[in-house]
Structure 1
């Protein structure tokens, strides 16, 4: 999704696809770094770098403004450049940031699952100790 063209192709069912007066057109969404997460959720988009997920888009929402509002530290937004103006080093840096964010997201998910398993095991141990006492 590093390329705007690829992001744009995900907006096949976008609610404002044919609305010329809408601010959040597929083209503007893709320029702001967003792509549609899945066809099952055509109104939910994600930034290809910071992985910020947003939904509930309204006709007058400005994609770049919303991206800045919800993810001001996003490296893509901070560059504030058109895709055609990005240097190779900037593209590589965006890819590195994307990979770091993906790994951090996976780590958070693994930690959440670990904590759930840990809680479940602690509860099982407590329940077995209660049964032994009774």
Structure 2
């Protein structure tokens, strides 16, 4: 396989959170900006993206395993917390907090895991939508057809009895 700049650029279009710089950009409203252990830089390096809102300003999620963590203290170590909560996360197992330190093979392995997660999520959503649609359609089944079927059975049964 030949790796070109076009193939590398196409990886960027998958999801911006795959790249540390984009994860870091999500921490604009992070409550711990400096003079602490869980700075935006360290949160992004640990694989986290800020997903919280004004009600949960410190809710983060891993871009690979999806683990969500909140209630951070200023002295919490993001990498240690990630390792403690999800040691089997592919990003944690890789042990590199910057994609620039990864080999091409490591990046593609991580990308494969990322894409699998994305496709699983899309499949679950599609199944959910399918089940909703089936439920809606079966719930709207006309009862008139059932009555006609019953009447025709009664007629044929009564005729055969005579």
Change (3 A) 1:57 1:130: farther
State the shift of 1:97 in Å: 1.2
Select 1:103's aligned residue among 103, 119, 143: 119
Structure 2, unmatched stretches of 5+, are 1-16, 148-162
Aligned equivalent of 2:154: none
TM-score computed with the length of structure 1 as normaliser = 0.76
Residues 27-62 of structure 1: per-residue CA shift (max 9 Å, x gap): 221111012237777533232222x15243321443
State the shift of 1:69 in Å: 4.2
1:34 and 2:48 aligned: yes
Question: Quick one: distance in 1 between partners of 2:69 and 2:93?
Answer: 21
Asked which structure has the greater CA Rg, the reply is: 2
Cα RMSD (Å): 2.7
Structure 1, unmatched stretches of 5+, are none
**Mean Cα displacement is larger for which, 114-123 or 34-43?**
34-43
Alignment of 1:80-91 (within 5 A): 80-83=95-98, 84-91=100-107
Change (3 A) 1:15 1:117: same
Greater RCO (CA < 8 Å, at least 6 residues apart): 1
Question: Quick one: distance in 2 between partners of 1:131 and 1:65?
Answer: 63
TM-score computed with the length of structure 2 as normaliser = 0.65
Q: Any idea what SS the aligned residue of 1:35 has?
A: strand
1:71 and 2:95 aligned: no
Higher strand share: 1
Q: How many aligned residue pairs are there? A: 128
- Judge conservation of contact 2:47–2:97 (CA < 8 Å) in 1: no
Change (3 A) 1:5 1:87: same
